[in-house]
């Protein structure tokens, strides 16, 4: 009913090889898409000033409001409303394959295939007498879409799926949903250069980092680490003063305890996670450093989350700090 009533919705169906054009093959995956955008910039700006919002166009409204960029609303997006794989062949990559074909279609990169038109599977049907139930994508003219988007309640499994398919997060709601107790998020993938999406991603990364010890403190450290560091652009690392480096070195040599470097936690974390130096750490060191230095969890809290003991977490943390100490002393030599 939703598809029948809303002309901006599309249904994309991934089928197996077609051997008989008179019979519909079992769907392998289905994607429901809503086209959004093409909004009047001045109208959007006026309504944002008065805290108004029309129905529909969820992603354009949300991102225009969050980033104070009403001009984004005129870009055209294709939002995935639902994606489902056949339960008989789940986990075999058909959802990703359907998404890949969707990106190729809206990116105007589809190659002509040898597959035939899929007609209605019904008694007494004669080819050509009724419109086909489905068309090959190569038979259709794609709408001029600038980006793909999706909104969902954040879980490690869902984030992994969309990130694997090259979507990037640009919004994560600070409050938990009352229905699902999850943070709602929006992820996007640019198809045609619209510039502004990369600005959104960079700004989101900074916001997310600064809120990790406030609104997102309860996020699993491993999930927070993936959101913060995946597809991170490498930058020139910040410099520490000679006195700061002496304190860090003394801590690594166990001449000083953890409290002697607590005031440096923010700068140390930024060195690794904002300046793009986290590649120097192993996976466990990244998680522990983020949990302690960014999310401000105690060693006991993090040890419980990672099913480890607090002393082991402290040792891993010290080894992570030692990486900075080693790099700082190398720069001096």
pLDDT in tens, 68-100: 899 999 999 999 999 999 998 888 999 999 999
pLDDT at 1: 46
pLDDT in tens, 33-69: 999 999 998 988 888 878 777 788 999 999 999 998 9
Predicted confidence band at 333 (pLDDT cuts at 50, 70, 90)?
very low
Mean pLDDT value of segment 269-298: 90
Predicted confidence band at 23 (pLDDT cuts at 50, 70, 90)?
confident
Judged by average pLDDT, the poorest of 20-29, 82-91, 194-203 is 20-29
Cβ pair 167, 211 in contact under 8 A: no
End-to-end CA distance of the chain: 70
Q: How far apart are CA 245 and CA 283, in angstroms?
A: 24
Bigger pLDDT: 125 vs 183: 183
Residue 217 has pLDDT above 80, yes or no: yes
Q: How far apart are CA 251 and CA 255, in angstroms?
A: 6
Instruction: List the chain domain ranges.
Output: 2-211, 221-332
Q: How far apart are CA 93 and CA 317, in angstroms?
A: 37
Cβ pair 73, 37 in contact under 8 A: yes
pLDDT at 292: 94
Secondary element (H or E) of residue 99: helix 94-106
Predicted confidence band at 113 (pLDDT cuts at 50, 70, 90)?
very low
Q: How far apart are CA 191 and CA 149, in angstroms?
A: 11
Residue 177 has pLDDT above 70, yes or no: yes
Query: Of 116, 113, 154, 104, whose CA–CA distance to 20 is shortest?
Result: 116
Question: Could you give the 3-state DSSP secondary structure of residue 163?
Answer: helix
Residue 287 has pLDDT above 50, yes or no: yes
Tokens of 55: 């129905």
Residue 305 has pLDDT above 60, yes or no: yes
pLDDT at 195: 75
Q: Residue 186 forms beta bridges with which residues?
A: 151, 171
Predicted confidence band at 332 (pLDDT cuts at 50, 70, 90)?
very low
CB burial class (10 A; 0-12, 13-18, 19+) of residue 154? buried
pLDDT at 277: 83
Q: How far apart are CA 281 and CA 227, in angstroms?
A: 17
CATH domain 2-211 topology: Aminopeptidase (3.40.630)
Q: Is the model's pTM score more than 0.85?
A: no
Residue 19 has pLDDT above 70, yes or no: yes
Task: Calculate what percentage of the chain has a pLDDT beyond 70.
Answer: 87
SS3 for 45-79 is HHHHHCCCCCCCCHHHHHHHHHCCCHHHHHCEEEE
Q: List Cα–Cα distances, 270 to 20, 56, 265, 276, 277, in angstroms.
A: 59, 38, 8, 8, 9
Residue 243 has pLDDT above 90, yes or no: no
Mean pLDDT value of segment 158-171: 95
Phi, psi angle pair for 166, to nearest 5°: 70, 25
- Over the range 307-333, which residues count as b (16 or more CB within 10 Å of their CB) and which as e? eeeeeebbebbbbbbbbbbeebeeeee
Cβ pair 324, 271 in contact under 8 A: yes
The residues, ordered by sequence, that sit 6+ positions from 242 with a Cβ below 8 Å of its Cβ are none
pLDDT at 237: 64
Other Cβ atoms less than 10 A from the Cβ of 117: the count is 13
- Residue pointed to by tokens 């130096």: 277
pLDDT at 33: 96
Other Cβ atoms less than 10 A from the Cβ of 241: the count is 8
């Amino acid at each position: 009913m939703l598809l029948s009533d809303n002309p901006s919705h599309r249904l994309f169906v991934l089928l197996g090889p077609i051997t008989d054009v008179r019979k519909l093959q079992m769907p392998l995956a289905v994607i429901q898409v809503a086209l959004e955008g093409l909004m009047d910039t001045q109208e959007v700006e006026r309504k944002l000033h008065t805290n108004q919002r029309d129905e529909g166009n969820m992603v354009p409204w949300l991102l225009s409001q969050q980033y104070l960029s009403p001009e984004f609303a005129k870009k055209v997006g294709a939002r995935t409303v639902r994606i489902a794989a056949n339960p008989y062949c789940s986990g075999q990559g058909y959802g990703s394959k359907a998404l890949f074909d969707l990106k190729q279609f809206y990116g105007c990169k589809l190659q002509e295939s040898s597959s035939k038109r899929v007609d209605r599977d019904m008694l007494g049907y004669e080819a050509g007498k009724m419109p086909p139930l489905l068309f090959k994508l190569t038979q259709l003219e794609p709408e001029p879409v600038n980006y793909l988007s999706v909104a969902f309640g954040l879980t490690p499994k869902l984030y992994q799926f969309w990130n694997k398919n090259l979507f990037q997060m640009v919004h994560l709601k600070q409050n938990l949903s009352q229905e699902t107790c999850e943070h709602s998020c929006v992820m996007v993938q640019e198809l045609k250069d619209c510039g502004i999406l990369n600005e959104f991603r960079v700004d989101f990364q900074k916001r997310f980092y600064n809120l990790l010890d406030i609104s997102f403190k309860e996020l699993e450290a491993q999930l927070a680490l993936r959101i913060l560091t995946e597809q991170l652009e490498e930058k020139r690392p910040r410099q520490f003063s000679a006195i700061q480096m002496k304190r860090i070195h003394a801590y690594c040599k166990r001449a000083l305890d953890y409290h002697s470097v607590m005031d440096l936690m923010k700068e140390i974390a930024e060195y690794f996670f904002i300046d793009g130096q986290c590649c120097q750490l192993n996976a466990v060191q990244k998680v522990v450093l983020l949990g302690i230095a960014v999310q401000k969890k105690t060693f006991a809290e993090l040890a419980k989350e990672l099913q480890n003991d607090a002393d082991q977490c402290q040792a891993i943390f010290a080894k992570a700090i030692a990486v900075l100490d080693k790099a700082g002393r190398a720069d001096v030599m």
